[in-house]
Structure 1
Amino acid sequence: MDIVGFFCELGEAREDRLFAVKTALLKFFADKGCYFHVPSHAEEIYNEFTLNKMIGLWAGREVNILSEKPCFLEEADRNLIESILESPLINLADAKGSIIGRIYEYSIPRGEKKEKGAIYTPEDICEYMRDMIFESVTGYEKMTDPACGCGVFLEAFYDCLMAKRCFMESDELIWETHRQILGECIYGADSSPEAVALSKIILALKYPRCYISENIVCRDSLLSTPPALKGFFDYVISNPPYVGHKGIPSAYRKKIAEKYSAVFRDKSDLSYCFFALGETLLKKEGKLLFVTGRYFAQSRHAESLRSFIKERFTVNEAVDFFGLRPFKTAGVDPMIILMTKGGDKGDLIAVKYDPAKPFDLMKIRRAGVGIVLSNEELTAEGFNFLSDSPKRVAEKVISKCTMSLGEAGQFFQGVITGCDKAFVTDSYNMLNSDCINETGRKWIKSRDIRAEGVFFGDKYVLYTNSVQNAADMPATLARLLAFKPQLIKRRECKKGSREWYELQWPRKSELFENPKIIFPYKSEGNRFLYDEQGYFFSADIYGFVLNEALRGSLELKKLTYLLNSPLYDRYFKTFAKKLGGALYEYYPNTVQKLMIPPLEVINGFENIKDAEAYFNE
């Protein structure tokens, strides 16, 4: 039976996730039988169904672990809970206390998780990270998680310390060790009062006698960490919140941009600030272990963070999931990174996971699979964990090139209509045909860029911005009038910079009308197509045209032979930003870095084989 799923459904049915958590905790106490005798206190619990009441009965005193209103259970709820307590199908006798946290985490609606950037760590990843540091732990180190959630890393570190210190010892010694670890070694913080309360409970459940840690607190670690904790910890272990720049409120963004200016700029992710916070919290030679979005390793908006890491840390180990998404409910591409504050800047072990193989983290670690690299190979421009083979590909290409693609030309993004329903049409009826005759331009999207060429699906964009006088396009205006309520709500129309019938971001029409190279913004491999048909395209496609000084000196079609060659596909992937699955990102800021041979050499290519042959000479 899926016990976590059962309790999540219970909370969902009542629209009260804490009800599910409290019911599960009561079942945990009842099935374990070593904390307190639940049947003897059932009436008290049902009259005040709170975490404080249950933990207070266990502790033998009043506790204030979470501010809750007293909750008197009606007869129907009492009967429901009694049936769960008595059911042999739902048995928590062998469960770990962390199951309470899992129930809470899985009960949080997806929208709320996205808003807070809360992506909870799967158990196998948590175990993997625990094993990464186990050998270096002696048993007395101090550790914190500044975004602890329900305490998965706090519990994992507790297990490390206890394993190092207690071997078949007496109950009293285990109790004293338990209290010392919770009282002196493990610290955590989170902005959610409920998560903090559950972290305290889960750690307390590690021993039958009740001891509640005072070191796990509710606060915003980025803004409210006490100065006394600076340089206090041996380990900072965390899964920082995943909040992109668009999801950060402007007032909060201003505060963290000021405090973490060394790593947080422009379109930085909130998680970047936790690297700087971790460095502040660590002792010299302390270790930072994060599972976080892999984009920090390659994004141009993370260059300041990479410089910070290069200056302040030695990278010891990196596990790149390389497109695999082990967080089942979130579209995040993670990386695990272990670093030492300061350190000797020596070698690091990089593990690049192969998405084509079955997912087994433990097997990877046991096998010791990895690439040995030097920290000197990591640059602020990008952390590329490459084996010798991809490095040789890049060196082979660069050795015979003279300029970058960005130096040869300029890139441009496709049209943003602001309302595709209004502006994109086909020729299936007379009115549409009249519109197309007036303002229509052939229209494609990224899915239409195929290996064999452009697929034109009889779609047209009504390029109204090219018409000086609106009266000259009556059919187009008649069509758009039906969409006017939506069109006038667009930002540019509200500001008065666009007429209601104009495209939101039309770009320059001549960029589309003249010969160009087009490519999708994400793809499994290089798809650069030469277009002389004058296609207009959506914003999920980019175009490339030569600089004016080079026009006539380079044939764009010949350039596509080079860019679409298997060698250039492998070359691009040595520094491209990896997305989920087999996809790569083809934004101009990355594509422009491609190096190309002398123009006269490219003009001599008649096909892809010629391009490949040039680099094999």
Structure 2
Amino acid sequence: MPSKQKMPSTVKDILNYDLTLADTVRAFTGAYYTPLSIAQTMIEDAVCFYLQNLGYKCADVDDFMAAKASALAAEILDLLSRAKLIDMASGTGVFGFAWLSTLDKLHRQYKLVSTDQYLQRAMRGIVLNDCNAASVEQFSALLKRQFGLDFKGTILSVDALCELAMQPAVKKVVDDGGFDIVIGNPPYIGERGHTDLFAPLKDDAKWSKYYMGKMDYSYFFVHQGLDFLSKNGVMTQIMTSYFMTADGAQKLRQDLQQRATWQGIRYYDKLDEFHAVKNLSFVIFSVTQKRDADVICRIQRNAKRFSASNRELYSAVGHIQLIPPADNELLSRIEQRARYKLTDLCHVNQGLVSGADRLKRKHCKMLNIPYEGERPIFVFKADECGEDEQLKPFLKNSDIGSYQLAKAPTQRILYSVADNLRNRPQWLEHLAPYRAILSRRREVKAGVRKWYELQWPRAESIFLAKKIVAPQRASRNCFAYVETPVYGSADIYFITLKHSLPYAEVDEAALLKALTMYLNSSVVYLWLNYKGKRKGAQFELYASPLRQIPVPAFSAQHVD
């Protein structure tokens, strides 16, 4: 995979105008327009893998891209000028420009004649959909200024998932064998807050088979990209890396495993070019139609470069894993020596959900009353309450350190469940002004909870027992042993021992302490780094990855 090529700053200024895109518009549309430097890298990846699929040797392709293969130049450039390219969610049209500028650069480096003829032919094979309205004019002006040519390709403005496949310019290419390059940066949109966007797809015969809860809208674009791909074609996309392990991406991973072969993956804990995106890691990946499982995929994980077969890319639970060979050997030894998974020994439970911790501005707007600052509903700060048996110590995830709590909890929660407030009229009086807010919670409307109860109180035993606690997100493995009763919200996980254990002779507290030491170890860090879930540089210590952590057998001597 070639390194990035810098383009003239004047071009960057035009194509990177997403700097001015309003955050509210970006959040609603899921649009993070692709900087030209990223688009250029993706186009070059797609070209390399497409040529390899056509039968050119990897070394010859690398030489060609570096302008060192003059004997093959005319032949290859003729092939590329005839390639069909589609971007289903074009935004600024940056991929169309990057494609043409790559061909133009190669023509000029090889000093071939009739560059305009090749570019005009290449333009006719481009389909750009959903171009930002303001960008179409800029895109055309840019091509005219840069190449002296008018755009002869196809620009569409239709629904990418419900209408694009039936457009004549798309249908003809697919019917004739498919697109050679499917490239893009699909919109990142979750279903929460966008149910109207997902609703028609859930009921559609084509898309319903790919739908699942907690998925992202971008996943549909990958499914469709596979539908559009020619026999030797390449789909190159940039997405957040979440799909590699997310529960909501299970069907996407299954479809990729069944219908695609990975050719190249670039993984970044963060991309400075996406300045507006916080705490997300990104993947640029290239796949082709299904081939042998032993086909080698070229991988870059931050600064590390290595290769793995397609077979090695999938874990036993179907996650996509990018593990350098040396670390993979270590992980294999860890798993071979482990006798259990954490779920064999422990319950892993999420903390409680009140549904309204404190009175916020949004609540006042809902009630049409003036906002006069935060006030406690269920959660109290230290100076807002006295001692009361209904007020329980309430952890913040920032209270959790490695091995032990970083500090004692200062907040308290009104643990209201079932009828435990029946003889506590002062607490019902405290909650009464907020009844309109509390009654809007889903479980209350469904009749599952009374208006004054916590929304999801959980079994109180997980808070009372000896336990290990972990924050939902952390920059490293972070587990603390807690002996005393302590409660916590849904951004904390509570790990308690199961009753039937293979350690009858070991004290409960001693075993939990031993597990705490192990969970904070470099061994578990390595496992979570490659086989856990991540959001940017942060581990996501959710129930699913926690339950899968391999655990060795502890003897009584080890625990002591």
**Normalised-by-shorter TM-score class:** 0.7 to 0.9
What is residue 353 of structure 1 aligned with on the other side? 302
- 2:421–2:427 Cα contact (<8 Å) kept: no
Task: Return the offset for 1:328.
Answer: 0.5
Letter in structure 2 aligned against 1:493: V
Using the TM superposition, give the Cα deviation of residue 549 of structure 1 relative to its aligned residue in structure 2, in angstroms: 2.2
Alignment identity in percent? 25
Matches within 5 A, 1:105-144: 105-135=18-48, 136=51, 138=77, 139-140=80-81, 141-144=83-86
Alignment counterpart, residue 290 of structure 2, candidates 342, 354, 373: 342
Q: Distance in 2 between matches of 1:310 and 1:427?
A: 53
Return the offset for 1:97.
5.4
Task: Kindly provide the CA deviation profile for residues 158-215 of structure 1, in whole angstroms up to 9, marking residues without a partner as x.
Answer: 1223344466567xx4444443332x22111116444445444443443335x24351
Structure scoring higher RCO (CA < 8 A, sep ≥ 6) equals 2
Equivalent positions of 1:515-526 (< 5 A) are 515-526=466-477
CA pair 307-549 structure 1, distance change in 2 beyond 3 A: same
Contact 2:90 2:132 in 1 (8 A): no
Flag the 1:492–1:133 CA change in 2: closer, same or farther, 3 A: closer
Given the alignment, which residue of 537, 540, 543 partners 1:588?
543
Deviations 1:56-102 (A, max 9, x none): xxxxxxxxxxxxxxxxxxxxxxxxxxxxxxxxxxxxxx865564443
Structural mapping, 1:262-301, within 5 Å: 263-301=210-248
Segment of structure 1 superposing worse, 487-496 or 531-540: 487-496
Q: Deviations over 1:24-54 (max 9, x none)?
A: xxxxxxxxxxxxxxxxxxxxxxxxxxxxxxx
Query: Is the CA contact (8 Å cut-off) linking 1:101 and 1:202 kept in structure 2?
Result: no
TM-score (norm 1): 0.73
In structure 2, how many angstroms separate the alpha carbons of the residues matched to 1:96 and 1:556? Answer: 60
1:310 aligns with 2:249: no
Structure 2 counterparts to residues 183-202 of structure 1, below 5 A: 184-190=124-130, 192-202=132-142
2: CA distance, partners of 1:204 / 1:523: 49
Shift of 1:476: 2.2
Residue 72 (structure 2) aligns with:
none
Shift of 1:348: 1.3
Q: Is 1:416–2:329 an aligned residue pair?
A: no
Q: Give the direction of change, closer, same or farther, for the CA distance of 1:348–1:175 in structure 2 (3 Å limit).
A: closer
Tell me, yes or no, if the aligned pair for 2:178 and 2:231 is still in contact at 8 Å: no
Q: Secondary structure at the match of 2:251?
A: helix
Counterpart mapping for 1:336-415 below 5 A? 336-345=284-293, 346-354=295-303, 370-379=305-314, 381-415=318-352
Question: Does the CA-based 8 Å contact 1:285-1:342 persist in structure 2?
Answer: no
Q: Distance in 1 between matches of 2:543 and 2:557?
A: 26
CA offset at residue 570 of structure 1? Answer: 1.8
Structure 2: gaps of 5 or more residues: 1-7, 52-75, 359-376
Structure 2 residue 218 is matched with structure 1 residue 218? no
CA distance in 2: counterparts of 1:551 and 1:537, whole angstroms? 29
- When structure 1 is superposed on structure 2, of 584-593 and 407-416 the one drifting more is 407-416
CA distance in 2, matches of 1:196, 1:219: 14
Q: Contact conserved, 1:149 with 1:199, CA < 8 A, in 2?
A: no
Q: Which moved more, 1:146-155 or 1:510-519?
A: 510-519
Structure possessing the higher radius of gyration over alpha carbons: 1
3-state SS, counterpart of residue 120 of structure 2: helix
**Which residue of structure 1 lines up, in the alignment, with residue 172 of structure 2?**
228
Q: Which residue type is aligned with residue 131 of structure 1?
A: E
Contact 2:260 2:291 in 1 (8 A): yes
1:458 corresponds, among 410, 426, 445, to: 410
- Is 1:575 the counterpart of 2:531? The answer is yes
Contact 1:514 1:534 in 2 (8 A): yes
Distance 1:277 1:469, change over 3 A: closer
Q: Which amino acid aligns with 2:236?
A: L
Q: Does residue 425 of structure 1 match 2:380?
A: yes
Name the aligned partner's letter for residue 173 of structure 2. Answer: L
Which stretches in structure 1 are left out of the alignment for 5+ residues? 1-93, 355-368, 608-617
The residue aligned with 2:73 is: none
How far apart, in 2, do the equivalents of 1:262 and 1:323 lie?
32
1:567–1:551 Cα change, 3 Å: closer
Query: Could you say which residue in structure 2 is the equivalent of 1:506?
Result: 457
Whether the 8 Å CA contact 1:134–1:160 is kept in 2: the answer is no
Corresponding residue of 1:449: 400
Change (3 A) 1:482 1:244: same
Partner AA of 2:288 in structure 1: T
Q: Compute the TM-score of the two structures, normalised by the length of structure 2.
A: 0.80
Provide closer, same or farther for how the CA distance between residues 347 and 558 of structure 1 changes in structure 2, counting only shifts above 3 A.
same
* Bigger mean CA offset, 251-260 vs 335-344: 251-260
Return the letter of the residue paired with 1:370: R
Match of 2:62 in 1: none
Per the alignment, in what secondary structure is the counterpart of residue 548 of structure 1?
coil
Is the 2:394–2:412 Cα contact (8 Å) retained in structure 1? yes
Question: How many Å apart are 1:134 and its aligned residue?
Answer: 4.5
Partner of 1:207: 147
AA matched with 1:483? Y
